[in-house]
Amino acid sequence: MIIGALRQRLQHLHDILAASLPAAALLHQQSPLHLGAGDPVKVLIIAILSQATSDHNCLLAYNSLRQTYPSWEALALADEAQLAATIRAGGLANSKAARIKQVLAALKAERGEYALDWLGELERAEAYAWLTTLPGVGLKTAACVWAFGFNKPALPVDTHVFRVLNRLKIVNQSQPEKLQVELETHTPPAIQRDLHVLLIHFGRTVCRPRNPLCEKCPLSGECPFFFAKSS
C-alpha cells in the first residue's frame, strides 16, 4: 500500500473505532498496564507478568507481588522460588520470576538504581534497542513501556492488534514485530496509543478470534474477511 494511503487508512480506522467504542479508554483504565501509567519500571514488571495470561490473573499476580515485596529493592533480593510462588496466579511463574530478577539486576547494573527515567531522554528506537537487550523483553513489551510508562507515542502489537489488522488487510505482514515497526512508522503519533487501546478492545469484544460479531461491526463494509465469509 502507498505510504500516504496507509496513514489515511490507519487514521480512518482510529476514527471509526473511537466513535463506535466510546468506553474503550475507560475500560483500559482498569487494565494492568494502566496501573503502571507514568512509572516505566512498574509497566515493565507488569508487562512481564502479563505474558500469556488474562488481565485478571495478571492483576492477581501483581497485587500479590507488591504485597509481598513493597519495594523494587525487596523484589530484587527475593528468593526466586518464593517469588514464583507469590506470582503463581499469573502462570509461567518460574520463568517470570527468573526474568523479573534478571531485569531488576540489569537496571541496577546500568545506572545503580531500579529506575528507567533516563531512558525517556532517548529516541524511541534507542530506547527499544536497550529494552530489548533485557531477558524476556521483546519489541511489544518495549513499546508498552514507551507508551504507558513514558506516555509517548507507540503502538504495541499484541494478538488482537495483529489479528484485526490482518483481517481488514490494512497491512500485509505476517510477523508481529515487523508489523509494529510498520505501524509505528506510518500511524500519526498522536493516535498511536489510542489506536492500540481501541484495537485491543475491538478485538476482544467484536472482532473476536472465534465467532467475530461481523453483523454488528462498523467496519464490515470494508472488511475482506467478512466479504469472504459471506460469499
Instruction: Summarize as ranges the residues that interact with ligand SF4 (CB under 6 A).
Output: 167-168, 206-207, 212-214, 217, 219-220, 223, 225-226
146 vs 225 by CB, closer to ligand SF4? 225
Q: How far is the CB of 188 from ligand SF4 (least distance, A)?
A: 21
Inter-residue contact 102 to 96 (CB < 8 Å): no
Inter-residue contact 130 to 119 (CB < 8 Å): yes
What's the rounded Cα separation, in Å, for the pair 23 and 174? 30
122 vs 168 by CB, closer to ligand SF4? 168
Q: How far is the CB of 225 from ligand SF4 (least distance, A)?
A: 4
131 vs 219 by CB, closer to ligand SF4? 219
101 vs 167 by CB, closer to ligand SF4? 167
Name residues whose C-beta falls within 8 Å of residue 138's C-beta, 6 or more positions apart in sequence: 132, 177
Inter-residue contact 153 to 190 (CB < 8 Å): yes
First to last CA, the chain: 25
Residue 111: CB atoms within 10 Å: 12
Q: How far is CA 117 from the centre of its chain?
A: 19
Q: How far is the CB of 209 from ligand SF4 (least distance, A)?
A: 10
Q: How far is the CB of 207 from ligand SF4 (least distance, A)?
A: 3
48 vs 155 by CB, closer to ligand SF4? 155
211 φ/ψ sector (left φ>0, alpha ψ -120 to 50, else beta)? left
Q: How far is the CB of 216 from ligand SF4 (least distance, A)?
A: 8
Joined grid coordinates for residue 45: 514488571
